[in-house]
Structure formats: C-alpha cells, structure tokens
Chain A
Amino acid sequence: MNFRFVVNPEVCTGCRTCELACAFAHPHDGKPGKSRIYPIDGGFKELWVPVTCLQCDDAACVKSCLVDALKRNPVTGAIELNREMCVMCMACVAACPFGCALLDPGQDAVVKCDLCGGDPVCAHFCPTKALSYVPIEKKDRIAG
C-alpha cells in the first residue's frame, strides 16, 4: 500500500461535491449510484466532517461477512465488496461501527467505498483539499 486516503475536516466547507462525485463515479443503469461518502454536520460552528470508510485493519465488515464477499485489495488497500458474491444478509451494514457499509435501495445492493480502484474521485473534486490521497512516506510505513 503506497497511498493513504486522508480526511481533513478543518477545511471541509460541507459543499457536498464529494458526495456528487462519488455517486457519479459509481453509476448503475446509467443513473448515479448511492454515495459512499457523507459530509455531516460535526456539531460545532462551521464544522463539517466527510464521513467515509476508514478501510480498517481489523474491519468489522470483513469479519461479519460469512461468505467472504468483502476482501482487501492488496494494491489499493481498499476493502472491496464483490457484488456477485454478496447474499444481501446485511451483516456488514449492521456491523460497521462507522456506518460506512450501506444499502443502495435503487440498485438493491450493498455498497461501500472502494477508493475508486485506487484513484478516489472525491479527492479529485474536493475544492478545499479536505480529502486527499497522498503517498505514504517510506518512514511512515509499517514494517513489512
């Protein structure tokens, strides 16, 4: 894993561009899909938090999936949901403590952030760089 997705709420203005970008980057039947990133009011004046999947190391979604439909992509580090394997049991939706595995009712499918296969569109479009995808410095890398 050579890149890290970084969220910096200090500069988020709550413009919701990331949400739109995500929906258009994950279309279905020619229509935008459900966004996997949510700019939510952080509870203080002019404070927004773009909530999205943290691609946890010991991820509850992966543990909860009894059919192994959720697997980490070794190249991007994202936990990807294989829609063909998903049996729609909703275990991951219920298990994620950050609420980042969710049902897309329009597509009748469970969806989560996949880091767009290694080129997160939300980060491209974020006008204030509250979202960025940055190379990990060698010294920061965990051994191995």
Chain B
Amino acid sequence: MIKFTINGKLVQADQGDMLLTVIRREGIDVPSQCHHQAVEPSGACRLCMVEITRQEWDGWSKFVTSCLYPVEDGLMVTTHSAKVIQLRKTIIDLYLARHPNSTEIMRLASEYGVTRTTYETVADGDDCIMCGLCTRICAHMGFSAISTVGRGHDKEIAPPLKEAPTDCTGCLSCANNCPTNFIEFTRDSNSLTIWGRTFETLACSQCGKTTITRDFAEHLSKTRDIPIAYFEVCDDCHRKETAKTMGRVVNWTREVQA
C-alpha cells in the first residue's frame, strides 16, 4: 500500500496505480482528453498535468502528466495550485487556436475562463486533437484498423492507405470514445458507414430493432465461441423470450401439482 497526499489529504493506493486514477477516485476534477481506463495511458493531451513535490525537495516542485505518473510513497500532489491552473490555461489556449470550432474545447476553455486564444487561429483546424485514443482502443480490441498517418501539420487518423479499412468491424468504439466527437459515422435502416466502409447491421428477428454489425457479431462468434444465434434477437425480445420460457416451465409445474 502506497501512502501520499493529494491537496493535503492523505490517500492510499496500490503500487502501480497512476496518479490520475487516484485523483479521480477521490472525486477531484482534473481535465483529461486522452485517458481511458481500458487502455494504457499515453500522455498525449497534457491536460492532466498536476504539481508534485516531496518533503526533501525543499520547496522545489515539478509538473507531471498524472495519467502516466505512478503513485509513490511520500509524494505531495497539488491539482489546482495557481501554477497548475496557469499551465492548464496555456494548454487550453493552444488547443483553442488549433481547434477553434470544437465544442468540447470551447467547453473546457470556458470552464477555465479562457475566453479567446492568444495564438494565431488555424482557420481550417478540424476537431481532432490527435490524442490517439481511438487508435489505442481499436488496437486493444484487436482490430488495429486505424492509425496515425502523415507527419507534422498533415498528421491525421485514418485507415491504411486511406482506403475503406478491411480490419474494421464497425464496432463504433473509436467514435463513441473520441473526446471531441470528431469521428463521423452514419446510420441507415440496415447499415452503418464509418471510415468510408459500409457495414450491414443485424436486425432482431422478432421486432426488427437494429443491433451491432454483422461483421462484429461474426467476429465475436468466431473468436469468443458465442453461438451466432444469440445475435439474431435484440435484448428486449431476449427478455420476453426468457419470460415465456420460464412461464411455460412454471405453468407446467402448476398443472402437474393441480
């Protein structure tokens, strides 16, 4: 058990826990864009910076990305000192210049009182902050259908060769977790399109409600040993079927006992 303080309060954590995890557990609001518990931290967005010091550092302190910093005994962490807030404001200022149309960045800026950027605005700046969360999640799910392509200013997230990705299953995990909602997809009555590829979506055999894509269901069925028939009925109808099946059993025992 590791013991240290956050904003003066003594806290405990397990060896190997990252600071941000413990900060969140304590209910303290530190911003982050590239963090997700499902994947390894990457330190890409810099927003989770906090100030750390130790007794023996004699008043000296430093800033670290809390999502990447493992807890240490005796650490003294400050999440909202004037210096940290100033640093966060500078980072937000830069984001605001590069992604002037992102509602998420605007929300963050207004939360930190950054009303406008002091840098030159990138007029054609899109909403992708290049945090790489989508590619890390996709890789962690075993697909690796998308990655960072290009260099410098032209860097972007895309499938290989920018063609419809063959490894994508249309699971939408990238889009659902993109902090700025940049990843677009469209839905039709029986299909969905993402990254330039159109997928057939399954429809419940009872009520017609659409569920996941056929590709995703087949992948799960094959790699995880789940009967494909499970995917043919939606959750609502599965519950109704369960009630009917149990109902028949109960009714049968009733009749036998009568």
Contacts and interface: CB of A to CB of B under 8 A. Distances in A.
Interface in B215-246: 216-217, 220, 224-226, 230-231, 233-244, 246
Contacts, number: 132
A105 B173 CA distance: 17
B212 A94 contact: yes
B172 interface: yes
Contact of B142 (A42, A51, A66): A66
Chain B contact patch, size range: 35 or more
Contact of A69 (B38, B220, B225): B38
Nearest to B37: A84
Contacts of A88: 172-173, 176-177
Contacts of B39: 67
A13 to B, nearest CB: 13
Contacts of B171: 89-91
Given A9-B246, A41-B243, 14 more contacts: A43-B247, A48-B243, A84-B36, A87-B38, A89-B171, A91-B220, A94-B212, A94-B230, A94-B231, A95-B220, A98-B242, A99-B235, A99-B240, A100-B239
24 contacts: A10-B253, A40-B242, A41-B247, A42-B247, A42-B248, A42-B251, A43-B244, A44-B250, A47-B251, A49-B242, A49-B247, A63-B224, A85-B36, A86-B38, A87-B173, A87-B176, A88-B172, A89-B216, A90-B211, A91-B216, A94-B202, A94-B211, A96-B238, A99-B235
- Return the 7 tightest CB-CB contacts between A and B, nearest first: A42-B247, A99-B238, A40-B243, A99-B235, A99-B239, A84-B37, A49-B243
